[in-house]
Structure 1
Amino acid sequence: MSGLGNLWQESAAETFQAPGFQGELGVDLVIVGGGFTGLSAALAAAGQGAEVAVLEANTVGHGGSGRNVGLVNAGLWLAPDDVCRALGEAAGEHLNTVLGGAPDVVFDLIARHAIDCEATRAGTLHLAHAPKGEGQLKARLAQMQARGAPVRYLTADEVARRTASTAFGGALLDARAGTIQPLSYARGLARAAMAQGARIYENSPVTGAARHGGQWVVTSRSGKIRARHLLVATNAYHQPLAHMAIPSVPVVQFFQLATTPLGANLAGDILAGGEGAWDTGLIMSSIRRDKAGRVIIGGMGSEAATHANWAERKLAKLFPRLAGSEIEHAWSGKIAMTEDHLPRILRLGRDGLAVFGYSGRGIGPGTVYGRAAALALLNDDESGLPVPGVDAYAERFCTLKTLFYETGARLVHLGAARS
């Protein structure tokens, strides 16, 4: 499975290339990381007339942004009441409101900049994988409806009609959400940011970042950038930097497998409405289709044979007629999973911020957090941030937590393979 490759890289309609950085440069804002967060920040800052430079260690969308499932969800993994308990009532409701509107922001950017990314706003399905999942979904439904969200509960029969599978007990349909081709979206953001005047450099890993003479000095292998402001937007793909420490966060692997394009007779009624879906399992899995008619299934865990075997069996269990379907692509990515599943904005001393910890919700939150962080830095005003910035953040036992997630995924998938 490991040699089949990333579907998003093969099917991306948007193309993008940028040179490596060399020499010296002075800008208003330097951004480390060319994913959803960094590119959204670059687009917003350049749109304000700021001089912006983005340094990406590999290519735009190389990390989680180009390995994402492609679900543009509203909100977080946490239910709205849990967000308020974690942040306090005022800050929690502010974040719920901001992220409830995140799909609007994403789809508006796609339309405004004509990003060719298979954008489909048909909602998402949060599927009950077991009876206890139904109770969790109904509790979440009440909280979301109390806040005016256009979310409704679907019975098992309704879910079966939408998914063509009888494996689920019920689901939440969120009309705000949708699906995209994530790598095309990232490349489209990069193209739009460059059109606004941002400078983007690929294959330019940052080696150090420190403040000197009232400015940030960011060094790469072939040059140096001086900037008034710094945004670190590397998330789960952060590489160590000299003179700067970013807090460690547990990392979760998430893999995906895609079938060959399937004809209407074989898979025409599987998520025929264009919804993306994920389930309530602790070891979560996802299902969606792409524009070409491939069925894509994903789950927690690294891209090992154990998980690939599980995915093929899972696909056949959900959709018996797909048993034995050829798997055309297999790929995996990393998720930065904070302990409470809340993204963080960390102050890096004067005029610097780092954003991390989307816990599997990178598209909407990444777009919104990136834009807000850039404007907060340029305007020296944090009042527009989705969550208050913090001066310090630490999690204990990150390596053990990462191992826990991977071990749990292996045990669940091995057990399912033997059942």
Structure 2
Amino acid sequence: MQNDPRSHGLWELTAPPAPSTTLLYGHVDTDVAIIGAGYTGLSAALHLAQESHDVVVLEAEEIGFGGSGRNVGLVNAGLWVMPQDLMATLGATMGRRVLDLLGNGPRLVFDLVEKHAIACEATPTGTLHCAVGNGGLENLRERERQWQALGAPVRLMDATEAARHIGSTAYTGALLDERAGTIQPLAYARGLARAAIGAGARIHTHTRVTGAQQAGEWWHLRTSGGGSVRARWIIVATNAYTTNMWPELRAELVHLPYFNLATRPLPPRLLETILPQRQGAWDTREILTSFRLDQAGRMVLGSVGALDRAGRAIHHAWGRRALGRIFPQLKHEPFETEWYGSIGMTTDAVPRFHQLAPNVVSISGYNGRGISPGTAFGMVLAQLICGQITMAQMPLPRSTTQPARARAAREAFYTVGSAVAHAGTGWL
């Protein structure tokens, strides 16, 4: 996208074409205007259109341009924070709502994939959270305890069993979550868009919203191409890729850069020894490593960092070392594609629900877990607008935006710190 092979890398090369869309010209009236064509916006559009609401999606770039088209493709259940920490943050009632919603999030994703025949390499065989050392194993043991108390199908494997599932002896154990899996993330976004259009939604790409003004019950939106929209509701679904409109959303998120490197399709003799059930995986390090296979058998390896300026060479060199340490049989496999983007982080790793103005709502801050939360929260916003739930029944509390403290310094620290860590001789 934008003639930049490092924006979406492998996913742009292997995803089915996006549905045909156009720049918005002229004026349109609609029930709901959705700003942003990522998972949240597209899920909301699909669910609203299925309830016979007229919907217009306005995307400044292309479908899946932000994190929805750049992530590693792990369809995880829940959030980064442990269940008990989430309930301590949100309270027992809302905490349990979020745990129920997002615990079933992967099922929602895979059901939508099946219902709408979305070609996105969906592989619902679970995920593996891999333990580094005894500390990592203790962390996973506590995660297992908390999730099993809620009835979740998660199971901690010892080093021997983990090695059989991973194809590597690098870890002291792994937590298998049978609810989860992997997808081709850009293909999923494009498939959601196609399904939303099929249900009656209109999607306009390369249409940046440049102004918003309320007049009575209506909102009037101006766009970069000279078009305009009049809507009763607005969903702001721009998350980490928020720009000039509603800048308070950008101000409360700290951007964490994340990159991925992908090999060529591996030969069958190597694939027999690696991730035999095609689970996606990541480890317990603070600067984590993620890895998975795509449908063609490419190894996709990722971590924190930006592939720009000096960081590109540093992270590439780290990738070569990390790949060889996890899978010695792949130490000579070259990387053929690379890409990176930004993750929107909140102060407590919990997403935020905002009513930015009357009939203007937003959920953002997925902290690196956007696929099932984005899909689920998009559905929830549609339910709110349809009157199927009330504000009091939302799974997240309505909160005011709060600028993240020392945001610029923290973002610089993540970029520079990940490069410094990856430049070391250790396995960070």
Task: Check conservation: 1:255, 1:301, Cα contact below 8 A.
Answer: yes
Question: 1:344 and 2:352 equivalent?
Answer: yes
Aligned to 1:250: 254
Aligned to 2:402: 393
In structure 2, relative to structure 1, the CA distance for the partners of 1:364 and 1:4 (3 Å cut) is closer
In structure 2, relative to structure 1, the CA distance for the partners of 1:13 and 1:143 (3 Å cut) is same
Aligned to 2:293: 289
In structure 2, relative to structure 1, the CA distance for the partners of 1:332 and 1:381 (3 Å cut) is same
Task: Check conservation: 2:240, 2:250, Cα contact below 8 A.
Answer: no
Deviates most, 26-35 or 381-390: 381-390
In structure 2, relative to structure 1, the CA distance for the partners of 1:418 and 1:227 (3 Å cut) is closer
Deviates most, 51-60 or 391-400: 391-400
1:366 maps to amino acid: G
User: What is the deviation of 1:266?
Assistant: 2.0
Aligned to 2:317: 309
Task: Check conservation: 2:255, 2:343, Cα contact below 8 A.
Answer: yes
Aligned to 1:121: 124
User: What is the deviation of 1:133?
Assistant: 0.8
User: What is the deviation of 1:393?
Assistant: 3.2
Q: Using the alignment, how far apart are the partners of 1:119 and 1:197 within structure 2?
A: 25
The equivalences for 1:334-373 within 5 A come to: 334-373=342-381
Deviations 1:373-413 (A, max 9, x none): 12212328224432122233332111122122223312221
Q: CA RMSD in A?
A: 1.9
Q: TM-score, normalised by structure 2?
A: 0.94
Deviations 1:60-87 (A, max 9, x none): 0111010011111000000000101111
Aligned to 1:203: 206
Q: Using the alignment, how far apart are the partners of 2:327 and 2:247 within structure 1?
A: 52
Aligned to 2:89: 86
Q: Using the alignment, how far apart are the partners of 1:99 and 1:372 within structure 2?
A: 11
Aligned to 2:133: 130
User: What is the deviation of 1:417?
Assistant: 6.1
- Residue in structure 2 matching 1:405, options 406, 411, 414: 414
1:289 maps to amino acid: L
Aligned to 1:110: 113
Q: Using the alignment, how far apart are the partners of 1:247 and 1:409 within structure 2?
A: 22
Deviations 1:352-387 (A, max 9, x none): 112210000000000001111122123282244321
Aligned to 1:322: 330
Identity %: 43
Task: Check conservation: 1:17, 1:202, Cα contact below 8 A.
Answer: no
The equivalences for 1:7-156 within 5 A come to: 7-156=10-159
Task: Check conservation: 1:345, 1:389, Cα contact below 8 A.
Answer: yes
1:241 maps to amino acid: M
In structure 2, relative to structure 1, the CA distance for the partners of 1:172 and 1:272 (3 Å cut) is same
The equivalences for 1:141-220 within 5 A come to: 141-220=144-223
2:242 maps to amino acid: H
Deviates most, 222-231 or 244-253: 244-253
Deviations 1:14-49 (A, max 9, x none): 532310111111100000000000000000110110
Deviates most, 128-137 or 236-245: 236-245
User: What is the deviation of 1:282?
Assistant: 0.9
**5+ unaligned residues in a row in structure 1: which ranges?**
none
User: What is the deviation of 1:272?
Assistant: 1.3
Q: Using the alignment, how far apart are the partners of 1:416 and 1:288 within structure 2?
A: 24
3-state secondary structure, aligned to 2:233: strand
1:332 maps to amino acid: Y
2:355 maps to amino acid: R
3-state secondary structure, aligned to 1:188: helix
In structure 2, relative to structure 1, the CA distance for the partners of 1:257 and 1:243 (3 Å cut) is closer
1:414 maps to amino acid: A
1:86 maps to amino acid: T
Task: Check conservation: 1:33, 1:57, Cα contact below 8 A.
Answer: yes
Task: Check conservation: 2:249, 2:401, Cα contact below 8 A.
Answer: no
User: What is the deviation of 1:243?
Assistant: 9.3
3-state secondary structure, aligned to 1:255: strand
1:149 maps to amino acid: A
Q: Using the alignment, how far apart are the partners of 1:371 and 1:418 within structure 2?
A: 40
Task: Check conservation: 1:283, 1:408, Cα contact below 8 A.
Answer: no
Aligned to 1:230: 234
Aligned to 1:278: 282
Q: Using the alignment, how far apart are the partners of 1:252 and 1:336 within structure 2?
A: 7
1:274 maps to amino acid: R
Deviates most, 10-19 or 150-159: 10-19
Aligned length: 419
Deviates most, 30-39 or 394-403: 394-403
In structure 2, relative to structure 1, the CA distance for the partners of 1:44 and 1:416 (3 Å cut) is farther
